[in-house]
């Protein structure tokens, strides 16, 4: 197998690298980190607009919608480059946008895809409710059809980035009497709409997710995505797009841990000569390589015009559990120094291991827990019968 990019693609990747090196500042990193690797802050928005101006936010979208008509392979490589320097989550460009591209009307594509491709608008995911997480068919928030608009009432929870995003990518019940999977619609809601209240929930990783309350919120009919009551299927596709995890951020942490092991002497012996540490680092290097193959396989499937499904569950599960193994090994290698936070005089690797250790816990929960990814693999990947 030959995974080499063409000379033109390699040139673009070099340009991306040079851009990231010159544009990403410590202040920008600190801002995005504080809001959960989101670009909704002022510096983040400026950066993403510049980044997107080159077509790099959605390279594989058609030119008419702001892309470069490039391959998903190249798009994934650009995502990895960015994640290595500064992990950022893109809800509009990488989750909602591709779903609109597949299922949205021509009017909806014209209205939303260009601003998304230019990095001008960001969305927040509005799926989970207090009694509906793993099983999203149990949603209760309701949108009542009023002719040219809907009136929405209900509550969402764990809706990350809602306090800094512009729009809610919302799953809502539009036909409460219909059977499951035929009663839901997706819509785009302006988060500044009267009747929306956003309340913070602080995660163990230190950043904010939210509860979002809807109280007689008016949403124009044209904000309905695709067909009414088909939203469950669009939501499943959007989840497939969400479950594609660039590992650049953890790959960089791994590289730094390896470097630390090479440079650090404990009790007169370099850590790099400790047989247990060598075994663990070698194992992680193998798993990172395996993840790469699973990740780029998703791009290959997209390049064939399909939406990967159980394959995304495979990658999400493998990547996020690998992230936990990397941070665990980081703790082993750094010893007690690993537990110190950024800013502490004795924190090794700028407190990265401590921070990522806490962060990696939530990675196996959002976008569907590990149990749910294994269920999908069993059912759709292995075709085992449903319970
Ligand atoms: C930090 C963070 C950020 C998030 N951001 C967002 C966001 O932006 N937007 C959004 O909509 N949601 C978001 N979520 C919600 C997340 O997607 C849900 O928490 C997740 O899907 C699990 O749902 P739940 O919390 O209701 O747990 P439950 O569904 O109640 O699950 C509880 C436990 O039971 C297990 N379980 C459930 N069903 C099964 C089953 N059939 N088989 C085996 N085990 C099962 C689960 O694996 C889990 O361990 C976020 C969550 C977190 C923690």
Answer yes or no: do 293 and 334 share one domain: yes
pLDDT at 1: 64
Q: Spell out the residues 6+ positions from residue 300 whose beta carbon is closer than 8 angstroms to its own.
A: 72, 73
**Which residue has the least CA distance to atom 1 on ligand 1?**
362
Where does 56-152 have alpha helices with state H?
A: 72-85, 91, 97-103, 106-117
Answer yes or no: do 196 and 295 share one domain: no
Looking from the CA of residue 171, the nearest atom of ligand 1 is 11
Which H or E element spans position 43? helix 42-53
What residues line ligand 1, using a CB cutoff of 6 Å?
125-128, 133-134, 158-160, 203, 209, 362, 365-366, 368-369, 371-372, 375
> 100 in a domain, yes or no?
no
Boundary (domain end) residue, out of 173, 201, 231: 231
Looking from the CA of residue 375, the nearest atom of ligand 1 is 42
Residue 3 binned pLDDT confidence (cut-offs 50, 70, 90):
confident
Answer yes or no: do 248 and 367 share one domain: yes
Answer yes or no: do 211 and 323 share one domain: no
Range of the domain at 173: 124-231
Answer yes or no: do 292 and 370 share one domain: yes
> 96 in a domain, yes or no?
no
Cα(3) to ligand 1 centroid in Å equals: 35
Domain count along the chain: 3
Looking from the CA of residue 367, the nearest atom of ligand 1 is 17
- The pLDDT tens digits for 75-122 are 999 999 999 999 999 999 999 999 999 999 999 999 999 999 999 999
pLDDT at 281 over 70: yes
Answer yes or no: do 216 and 248 share one domain: no
Residue 72 binned pLDDT confidence (cut-offs 50, 70, 90):
very high
- The pLDDT tens digits for 118-160 are 999 999 999 999 999 999 999 999 999 999 999 999 999 999 9
Cα(368) to ligand 1 centroid in Å equals: 6
pTM assigned to the model: 0.96
> 283 in a domain, yes or no?
yes
Cα(261) to ligand 1 centroid in Å equals: 36
> 97 in a domain, yes or no?
no
- The pLDDT tens digits for 165-208 are 999 999 999 999 999 999 999 999 999 999 999 999 999 999 99
The arithmetic mean of pLDDT across residues 257-271, rounded, is 96
- DSSP for residue 246: -
Answer yes or no: do 373 and 249 share one domain: yes
pLDDT at 2 over 80: no
Angstrom CA distances, 137 to 52, 104, 133, 196, stand at 35, 21, 9, 23
Cα(372) to ligand 1 centroid in Å equals: 9
Boundary (domain end) residue, out of 36, 66, 89: 89
Q: What is the CATH number of the domain that holds 208?
A: 2.40.110.10
**Which residue has the least CA distance to atom 38 on ligand 1?**
134
- The pLDDT tens digits for 318-343 are 999 999 999 999 999 999 999 999 99
Answer yes or no: do 82 and 169 share one domain: no
- The pLDDT tens digits for 9-64 are 999 999 999 999 999 999 999 999 999 999 999 999 999 999 999 999 999 999 99
Percent of the chain with pLDDT over 70: 100
Residue 259 binned pLDDT confidence (cut-offs 50, 70, 90):
very high
> 105 in a domain, yes or no?
no
> 1 in a domain, yes or no?
no
Neighbours of 36 (CB within 10 A): 19
Answer yes or no: do 161 and 285 share one domain: no
Say how many Å lie between the first and final Cα of the chain, rounded.
39
Answer yes or no: do 261 and 215 share one domain: no
> 116 in a domain, yes or no?
no
Mean model confidence pLDDT for the chain: 97
Name the residue of 158, 172, 320, 359 whose CB sits within 8 Å of the most ligand 1 atoms, as the mutation to test its pocket.
158
Residue 4 binned pLDDT confidence (cut-offs 50, 70, 90):
confident
Looking from the CA of residue 126, the nearest atom of ligand 1 is 11
Cα(136) to ligand 1 centroid in Å equals: 10
Answer yes or no: do 58 and 148 share one domain: no
Residue 385 binned pLDDT confidence (cut-offs 50, 70, 90):
very high
Answer yes or no: do 324 and 357 share one domain: yes
Percent of the chain with pLDDT over 90: 98
Cα(125) to ligand 1 centroid in Å equals: 13
Angstrom CA distances, 5 to 74, 78, 288, 302, stand at 8, 12, 20, 17
Boundary (domain end) residue, out of 44, 63, 89: 89
Q: What is the CATH number of the domain that holds 261?
A: 1.20.140.10
> 221 in a domain, yes or no?
yes
Q: Spell out the residues 6+ positions from residue 364 whose beta carbon is closer than 8 angstroms to its own.
A: 317, 320, 321, 324, 370
């Amino acid at each position: 197998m030959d995974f080499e990019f063409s000379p033109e693609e390699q040139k673009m990747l070099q340009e991306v690298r040079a851009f990231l090196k010159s544009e990403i500042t410590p202040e920008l990193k600190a801002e995005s980190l504080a809001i959960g690797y989101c670009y909704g802050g002022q510096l983040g928005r400026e950066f993403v607009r510049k980044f997107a101006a080159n077509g790099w936010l959605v390279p594989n979208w058609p030119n008419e919608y702001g892309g470069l008509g490039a391959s998903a392979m190249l798009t994934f490589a650009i995502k990895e480059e960015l994640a290595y320097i500064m992990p950022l989550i893109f809800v509009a460009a990488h989750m909602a946008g591709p779903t609109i591209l597949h299922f949205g009307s021509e009017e909806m594509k014209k209205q939303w895809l260009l601003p998304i491709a230019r990095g001008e608008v960001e969305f927040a995911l509005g799926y989970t409710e207090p009694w509906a997480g793993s099983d999203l068919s149990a949603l209760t928030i309701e949108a009542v059809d009023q002719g040219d608009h809907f009136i929405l009432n209900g509550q969402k929870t764990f809706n990350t980035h809602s306090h800094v995003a512009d729009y809610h990518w919302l799953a809502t019940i539009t036909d409460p009497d219909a059977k499951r999977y035929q009663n839901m619609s997706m819509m785009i809601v302006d988060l500044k709409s009267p009747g929306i209240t956003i309340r913070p929930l602080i995660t163990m990783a230190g950043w904010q997710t939210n509860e979002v309350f809807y109280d007689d919120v008016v949403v124009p009919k044209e904000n309905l995505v695709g067909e009414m009551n088909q939203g469950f299927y669009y939501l499943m596709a959007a989840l497939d797009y969400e479950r594609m995890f660039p590992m650049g951020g953890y790959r960089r942490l791994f590289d730094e841990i390896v470097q630390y092991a090479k440079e650090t002497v404990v009790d007169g012996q370099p850590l790099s000569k400790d047989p247990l540490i060598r075994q663990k680092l070698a194992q992680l290097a193998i798993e990172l390589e395996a993840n790469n193959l699973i990740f780029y396989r998703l791009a290959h499937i997209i390049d064939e015009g399909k939406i990967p499904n159980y394959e995304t569950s495979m990658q999400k599960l493998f990547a996020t559990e690998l992230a936990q193994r990397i941070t665990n090994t980081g703790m082993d290698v750094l010893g007690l120094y690993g537990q110190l936070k950024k800013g502490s005089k004795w924190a090794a690797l700028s407190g990265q291991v401590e921070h990522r250790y806490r962060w990696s816990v939530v990675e196996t929960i959002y976008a569907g827990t590990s149990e749910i990814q294994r269920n999908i693999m069993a059912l759709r990947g292995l075709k085992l019968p449903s319970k």
